[in-house]
Homo-oligomer: A and B are copies of this chain.
Amino acid sequence: MTQFQARTVAFIGLGLISGSLARALRGSNWRGKLIAWGPREASLKRGRALGVVDDYSLALDEVIEQADVIVVGAPPAATASILREIIGKLALATHQPIITDLASIKGYVVDSVSHDYPHFVPGHPIAGSEHSGVEHSDPGLFTGREVILTPLPHTAAAAVAQIEAMWALTGAYIRAMEVQQHDALLAASSHMPHVVAYALTRALERDASDPMIHGGGALRDMTRIAGSDPRMWTDIAVTNRQALLAAIDQFEAEMTMLRELVDLKDEQALEDYFSICRAHRRDHDGILNPIAETAPEENHEV
């Protein structure tokens, strides 16, 4: 383990998430060098000035050569293309660093890599912030949060163990699952809810009476994520298309059922339905509010 923590980690793309990982490693007893590559020098310079990384280069090959561990941090489509490039270079090389990534979609990323590189461990930390950019990186971002790893059949157990050990230093807990299971879970827990928020916001936007000007806390929360980055969410929707469509269909089946119960004025069935929802939400309050910074359930009708 001592040897492991003396290794050089290369961050390919330096932003909020990768910067937070760098800071968390620095805050642990990691003694190895932390270096970065990225398409924009400004972020890299800022990262070095802030002490997030020790050094950077604009030459990808140079950074890869020095790296014992490579962490790719970029949106799904960019992650896929950079991984394809890096693993293409390393597949036949003698220097074979361990590689992981941070992308929120695993199937698309994994399918883009054309070599069965045994030291690639696909990963996804379920953490974020309302900000972006390395200047907002936070060494405590992963404390108590989940990191999902999706090792492939050809992935070496030793590589998985080392990526697990690296994440353990950040205070995250690690869960392993299959690629497809990850993508279906995230479609349901994050991607479909974003589509729902967008559809709701657009329905209000098309309404000439502008219902949003009468909105209260309910609408504030139900539309907040419709302010998310359009380009990133287009990328996610397209790269996780199949799982997203399946999650949308599950949601739509519920909407159809609820509409029917309202139409029939079936008060007992509505109350039972709403009660099941309340119980399920309350059972997960602790997970959804890990820092208990948000208000408790609302019982009013605004």
Q: Which residues of A contact B (CB under 8 A)?
A: 16-17, 104, 126-132, 146, 148, 181, 184-186, 188-190, 192-207, 209, 211-234, 236-238, 241, 244-245, 247-248, 250-255, 257-259, 262-263, 265, 267, 270-278, 280-282, 284-285, 287-289, 294-302
Contact = CB atoms under 8 A, between A and B. Distances in A.
Copies in the complex: 2
Given A195-B258, A274-B230, A297 B104 contact: no
Nearest to A263: B245
A250 to B, nearest CB: 5
B237 A198 contact: no
Given A198-B274, A203-B251, A213-B284, 19 more contacts: A126-B302, A128-B216, A131-B299, A132-B299, A185-B214, A188-B211, A193-B222, A195-B259, A196-B222, A201-B280, A202-B280, A212-B287, A215-B288, A219-B288, A221-B225, A222-B225, A232-B301, A234-B274, A248-B255
Taking chain A's interface residues, is the majority helix, strand, or loop, or is none over half, making it mixed? helix
Contact of A211 (B185, B236, B270): B185
Contacts of A301: 104, 128, 190, 228, 232-233, 236
A16 B227 CA distance: 32
Contact of A294 (B199, B224, B238, B278): B224
A207 to B, nearest CB: 6
Contacts of A206: 250, 254
A268 to B, nearest CB: 8
Nearest to A294: B220
A204 to B, nearest CB: 6
